[in-house]
Amino acid sequence: MEKSKLNICGLAIHKTLAYSAVFKYPLSFHQLCANLISKNRFGGKQIRKELKKQEKEGAITKYKGRYHLASITPVDWEERKKVTNKLIRHNRWVFELLEKIPWIKMVSITGSAANYNMEEKADIDLMFITSKKRLWLTRGFVFLILKILNKLPKDHKNRELCPNIFIDESSLGWIKKRRNLYVAQNIISMQPIFDKDEMYFRFMSANKWVKDYYYNFKLNLPEKFTPVKSSKSILINLIEKLAMSLQINYMKNKMTTEIATSKLIHFNKNDNSRWILVSFKKLLKLKTTV
């Protein structure tokens, strides 16, 4: 469809379906509204009107109650949802065990699992938020437990869990130079499976920039948060520094694009964000910046 034929709401719908088309995933009306890529807010009535218009013009197709660009053949979303739910249920007991680590403030499912779009033999991406100055200790215990449970086999293709992001509660805002549509989508779609001290709301409050991409995304944040006390144990602080030093020394020969600091650990050796955004722009057929 030519850009000139689209008004602002129509363009937002086109962008949203183009992004989901990268994954060949069709969207329900509710998902489309919640994930609408726009800096403006649109109501359901207006969105339905534009959807009907684009359907009539042949730009989009509705199949089994879900919308997708007419140019793609969508995946079987019902089957993807079944696979996702099965893997999450299968690992529920592992999540409950990890929650017992005292310094974990939040565990969230991210990526394809959070969007109920997992393929067979895919792994579940996990993001952890930890107590202040307990980032590397937490990671150490998480990996130790998962190793003991044989959840981290050497062959990554056989892994069901991927604990790839650890964030210190004192630094919840995403790195500015890495903020983009891909990260914003991962943040709004994340599914907290454990949360204390209102950490999910604290994290979302620190990342309000996602509204630059998803203005329709609604979340009722508290007006203020209760101050959280953190441990000031000198001994544990020293152990944290030692844990960081030992783990970075062990990983340094394998590291490429990963981030490993005292506030953030992000293992992203196979960074898919670039090709996803490039593919999105190709599907969008626009030269604008996203």
| CATH classification of the domain holding 210 | 3.30.460.10
Same-domain status, 68 and 163: no
pLDDT in tens, 85-121: 999 999 999 999 999 999 999 999 999 999 999 998 8
Tally of CB atoms within 10 A around 149: 14
Same-domain status, 83 and 71: no
Q: Would 42 be classed as within a structural domain?
A: yes
Helix (H/G/I), strand (E/B), else coil: 22: helix
The pLDDT of residue 285 is 73
Pairing of strands 264-266, 60-63: unpaired
Q: In the block, which residue shows the tokens 């960081």? A: 244
Q: Which domain holds residue 163?
A: 79-271
The alpha carbon torsion through 212, 217, 220, 226 (nearest 10 deg) reads: -50
Cα distances from 5 to residues 9, 53, 193, in angstroms, run: 11, 10, 43
Handedness of CA 4, 290, 273, 187 (dihedral sign): negative
Same-domain status, 19 and 139: no
The pLDDT of residue 182 is 95
The pLDDT of residue 6 is 77
Q: Would 45 be classed as within a structural domain?
A: yes
pTM to 2 decimals? 0.90
Same-domain status, 71 and 10: yes
Token pair of 12, please?
Answer: 């937002």
Q: Would 284 be classed as within a structural domain?
A: no
Q: In the block, which residue shows the tokens 């490993």? A: 260
The pLDDT of residue 269 is 62
> CA–CA separation, 290 vs 281, rounded Å?
8
Q: Would 160 be classed as within a structural domain?
A: yes
Token pair of 11, please?
Answer: 């363009």
- Single out the residue in 14, 46, 75 at which a domain terminates: 75
The pLDDT of residue 134 is 96
> CA–CA separation, 28 vs 196, rounded Å?
31
- Single out the residue in 49, 75, 101 at which a domain terminates: 75
Same-domain status, 27 and 107: no
Same-domain status, 113 and 47: no
Helix (H/G/I), strand (E/B), else coil: 128: strand
* CATH number for position 69: 1.10.10.10
Overall number of domains in the chain? 2
The pLDDT of residue 271 is 72
The pLDDT of residue 172 is 97
The pLDDT of residue 213 is 96
pLDDT by position in tens, the chain (length 290): 444 467 999 999 999 999 999 999 999 999 999 999 999 999 999 999 999 999 999 999 998 889 999 999 999 999 999 999 999 999 999 999 999 999 999 999 999 999 999 998 889 999 999 999 999 999 999 999 999 999 988 887 888 999 999 999 999 999 999 999 999 999 999 999 999 999 999 999 999 999 999 999 988 888 889 888 888 899 999 999 999 999 998 887 777 778 899 999 998 766 788 889 999 998 887 434 34
Same-domain status, 222 and 110: yes
> CA–CA separation, 74 vs 256, rounded Å?
34
Q: In the block, which residue shows the tokens 């089994």? A: 64
What angle do the packed helices 181-189 and 273-284 form, to 10 degrees?
100
**Do the Cβ atoms of 114 and 34 come closer than 8 Å?**
no
Same-domain status, 55 and 91: no
285 Rama sector, left if φ>0, alpha if ψ -120 to 50, beta otherwise: left
Same-domain status, 66 and 89: no
Same-domain status, 52 and 106: no
Token pair of 247, please?
Answer: 């783990």
- Single out the residue in 37, 55, 75 at which a domain terminates: 75
